[in-house]
Structure 1
Amino acid sequence: MTPEQRQLEHPRPHPARTIGYMVLSFVFRLVQFVLIVTGISVGVGTAVVWVGFPILLATTSFIRWSADRERGWAGLMLRVPLPPVERRAYDGEPVLRRWLIRLSDPTTWRDLAYLMAAFPLACVEFAIAIASIVLLPMAIWVTPWLGWLHGELAIALLGPNRTRRLEQKAERLQASRARGVDAAEAERRRIERDLHDGAQQRLVAVAMSLGRAKAKFDHDPEAVRELIDEAHSDAKLAVSELRDLARGIYPAVLGDRGLDAALSAQAAKSPIPVDVTVNVEPRPPAAVETTAYFIVGETLTNIAKHSGAKEAEVKVWRDDAHVVVEITDNGHGGAEMRPGGGLAGLADRAATIDGVITVVSPVGGPTVIRADLPCEW
């Protein structure tokens, strides 16, 4: 995973949260370090007389308990994505057997490695956090990066092991592929419905008008002229509907001139003012452009219908690995991603290329809808 992808999954924390984490963690880490080192030292030293085994058992339990607390604490303060850890089961086993299972569990040793590394780091972070309270630039720029780096350490040692991470990635890919298939099937049904209800009926009307004109060709020229005029009008409407349908599948302006021109054309049709900024050079793959185009189009339509917004802003930019689409409006907010809803449809469309949709919409607004679309998959 590239650094850019890592930062999308694990964003930098807020400076105030980072400073609070560094200051408060110092006390916890000091207690943890003293208890763990003392427990291991005393337990190993007295193991020959069996007294050390209960001490080592208690120390092992404390290590696992402390690591679980660290997972929740880091997730809350540093925005670190740390799912609950999966440990080896030992229900119904004798006490000594439980302890041996814990010792043979790699997660226990990764927990210990993190807790031992966290204390010296806490000393440095505490000093930096105290300095950051006085030096505002350090608080704004330096501490979030330190918090992000600490979060990366937590992910490496407290997160799932490599095998489990690969399994989770495979599960996400399988889910995204399934959602992609569902989205494609829904799109197919929409195209089929539009063809049946629109252009197909127009063409049937053309055929019927021409058939009636053919029957009257020899004895009623005036009626033939009217029927041909009617068929001509229906044919033009069918061509227009087919053109609109084709534009809905893949707009010509997108293929010819790229996202900037295509999104600007969308914004020009919006009933509310929309400011568009696009910087995606080098040009992303066609699948990414198409996904971004339809996400913006459907979002602007929803904004105009439901948000009560007076204006909106569309920003699209590219880093090395992703195209990021961000749509903001000043409406009343309260948008949610509900199953079967419009935002869920956007998420399904993004999932076809392993993209992710994020919605931030507090009551009262503003609403920000962000799509992170990978350029490689």
Structure 2
Amino acid sequence: MTAPHHGQLPWPRPVRAIVFLIASFPIRLGQFVAVVVLTLVGIATTVVWIGVPILMVITALVRYLGDRERQWIRTMLGAPLPPAVRSPESGGHVRRWRVRLTDPSTWRDLGYLLLAFPLGVLGLVVGLVGIVLVPVGIWVAPGLAWLHGRMAMGLLGPDESRRLAAQAERLQASRARGVDAAENERRRIERDLHDGAQQRLVSLAMNLGMARSKMTSDPAAAGELVADAHADAKTAVTELRDLARGIYPAVLADRGLDAAVSSLAASCPAPVDVDVEPEVVTPRPPSAVETCAYFLVGEALTNVAKHAAATRARVHARREGDTVIVEVTDDGVGGARLRGGSGLSGLADRAAAIEGTVTVHSPSGGPTVIRAVLPCVW
């Protein structure tokens, strides 16, 4: 199932809605009893200080149950519920508890847990009746499940101002890393030009100058110098071509992502299956998206060749709504990480600059899955 866009909730199918309503009731009952009973006990015993640790536990429990509810609603109803944006915590237990108490997300979680129980009672009745009465199962149960999902999105979803603030903070951090990466790339290009093509061209000019001076006095030596100059010229052209390919590959500009990824796969020592779905290349996404996807595949396949000890890899690019999703999978030894300063970390920064994300799942022993979600508008 394609993930819905932010703010959209798909209409549940009848069977899934009935299963959700019935299966949710014992969860709602247990959560409601635990939260209410522990809260009342904690408040009643605060005069003898026993209630303070109880209230600290219930605060942590509310946040934990809220996170589990987000996962449950995402799984059963397909609701676009991202992880909660929490206030940063530091210091001792009391200070962290104070932060949690003043965090709006804690109270939104609590409000949801309290409201979900009466709605869960109604949902249980409707779900059981829907098994027997077809009209209730087809129309009423999905509607009630959808209403529950909307309530979850309203209370468990991110506060819009905090979400935008967190997004701005991430963009600012990624922009700073992008500036550093661009400066490092500029220095690399300058170094490659100085140590590579520039030295070749200097050597070429010197050889041609000496060949010119020996043209009449020593034609054989002049011929050798011209041959050396010719070799330096070819080497300089090759180095300049490689340098340009590292900046923006010609095959990507000329033939698109499918051909560019296929050329990367052909140079990988391990067999690579390439599956670029037609919707990704026709029409073509913006160049920034294509470039990010290309270098992600290139870095991932480089890791396959150098570190993974893989026998096979797969590249899959597809379109989901207004996003391009690129996944590179290999059956190697695993252990890949988004470490600071690594090639994958740099690609994550490149993706963040266009509000994309890069994730790496690579347990010890494999397999490794590197996934990029790149938003774009065709």
Answer whether TM exceeds 0.5 for this pair. Answer: yes
Unpaired stretches in structure 2, ≥5 consecutive residues: 9-15, 41-46, 75-81, 90-97, 130-140
User: Cα distance 1:3–1:249, how it changes in 2: closer, same or farther (>3 A)?
Assistant: same
**Is this contact kept in 2: 1:82–1:155, CA < 8 A?**
no
**2:286 aligned partner, one-letter code:** P
Paired position in structure 1 for 2:6: 6
- Identity over aligned pairs, percent: 56
Alignment of 1:244-255 (within 5 A): 244-255=242-253
**1:315 aligned partner, one-letter code:** H
Give a deviation string over 1:326-347, Cα, whole Å, max 9, x none: 0000111122222222322221
Alignment of 1:79-94 (within 5 A): 80-84=82-86
Aligned residues: 324
Paired position in structure 2 for 1:277: 275
CA–CA distance in structure 1, aligned partners of residues 300 and 149 of structure 2:
33
Say which is worse superposed, 348-357 or 281-290, in terms of deviation. Answer: 348-357
Paired position in structure 2 for 1:364: 365
Paired position in structure 2 for 1:42: none
The alpha-carbon deviation at position 307 of structure 1 amounts to 0.6
User: Cα distance 1:301–1:126, how it changes in 2: closer, same or farther (>3 A)?
Assistant: farther
CA–CA distance in structure 2, aligned partners of residues 190 and 125 of structure 1:
62
The partner residue of 1:202 within 200, 203, 208 is 200
Paired position in structure 2 for 1:312: 313
Q: Normalized against structure 2, the TM-score is what?
A: 0.72
Alignment of 1:1-377 (within 5 A): 4-6=4-6, 22=24, 24-31=26-33, 67-74=62-69, 80-84=82-86, 110=108, 113-123=111-121, 153-279=151-277, 280=280, 281-376=282-377
**Is this contact kept in 2: 1:173–1:354, CA < 8 A?**
yes
Unpaired stretches in structure 1, ≥5 consecutive residues: 9-14, 40-53, 88-97, 132-142
User: Cα distance 1:111–1:296, how it changes in 2: closer, same or farther (>3 A)?
Assistant: closer
CA–CA distance in structure 2, aligned partners of residues 105 and 179 of structure 1:
29
**2:191 aligned partner, one-letter code:** R
Give a deviation string over 1:290-337, Cα, whole Å, max 9, x none: 110011011101111111110000000112221110000011112222
Q: Normalized against structure 1, the TM-score is what?
A: 0.72
**1:348 aligned partner, one-letter code:** D
**Is this contact kept in 2: 1:179–1:352, CA < 8 A?**
no
User: Cα distance 1:150–1:268, how it changes in 2: closer, same or farther (>3 A)?
Assistant: farther
**1:345 aligned partner, one-letter code:** G
Q: Secondary structure at the match of 2:6?
A: helix
Runs of 4+ in structure 1 deviating by more than 4 angstroms, as ranges, are 2-5, 18-21, 32-36, 61-67, 75-80, 104-113, 124-131, 146-153
**1:217 aligned partner, one-letter code:** M
The alpha-carbon deviation at position 375 of structure 1 amounts to 0.9
Q: Secondary structure at the match of 1:270?
A: coil
Give a deviation string over 1:232-262, Cα, whole Å, max 9, x none: 1110111111111112211111111110111
Q: Secondary structure at the match of 1:324?
A: strand
**Is this contact kept in 2: 1:357–1:371, CA < 8 A?**
yes
Aligned-pair Cα RMSD in Å: 4.2
Give a deviation string over 1:187-238, Cα, whole Å, max 9, x none: 2222222212211111111011012112223312221111111111110111
**2:209 aligned partner, one-letter code:** G
**1:289 aligned partner, one-letter code:** E
CA–CA distance in structure 2, aligned partners of residues 128 and 275 of structure 1:
48
**1:200 aligned partner, one-letter code:** Q
CA–CA distance in structure 2, aligned partners of residues 200 and 231 of structure 1:
13
User: Cα distance 1:246–1:66, how it changes in 2: closer, same or farther (>3 A)?
Assistant: closer
